[in-house]
A = this chain, B = another copy of it.
């Protein structure tokens, strides 16, 4: 079968995270079958995203405007700055609805293995933002992995004297989590960080 257009579509779909060769084939068939409801809108949405979505020059978030909607929102608390690894983390925190400050997207973690040093991340712009004043608290919300925590430590050191308060997210038992299924590290952290009930 010399279905070059179809084959190319399947190959590209298979590169998306979460889609293997088999589900890419199913997705391509679905797209062709639902041409007007799915294929054409998706092609248009991709073209619109390619044209309009850009990186916010202040925080590194993705948006169709620069500065992004969060940086430009006058209702956000400008004294709070939350440092995250990736744009996906901004979205996760926004979905939680629990945070009303600003963000700073690093673009990854420090990694000796992958050869990612501080220059590869957006750390210098973060120091500059903190140094410009007006920020009361920097929340380090990197992942609870070795690399995420190394990055958080490095940034905390660099922020010394620049931000009145530097905090990190609490570690402990996830809401809905059963003790029996938790790893030892989480359990001992949760025990050490126990809080008085009354």
Residues of A participating in the B interface, judged by any CB pair closer than 8 Å? 1-6, 8-9, 12-13, 15-19, 23, 25-32, 35, 38-43, 45-50, 52-53, 62-64, 68-70, 86-88, 91, 94
The interface residues of chain B lying within 8 Å CB-to-CB of A45 are: 5, 8-9, 12
Nearest-neighbour CB distance to chain B for A122, whole angstroms, equals 14
The interface residues of chain B lying within 8 Å CB-to-CB of A53 are: 3, 5-6, 32
**B1 contacts A69, CB within 8 Å?**
yes
Secondary structure dominating the interface of A: helix
Contacts A5-B48, A8-B48, A62-B3; A18 near B19 (Cβ below 8 A): yes
The interface residues of chain B lying within 8 Å CB-to-CB of A15 are: 38
**A42 contacts B13, CB within 8 Å?**
yes
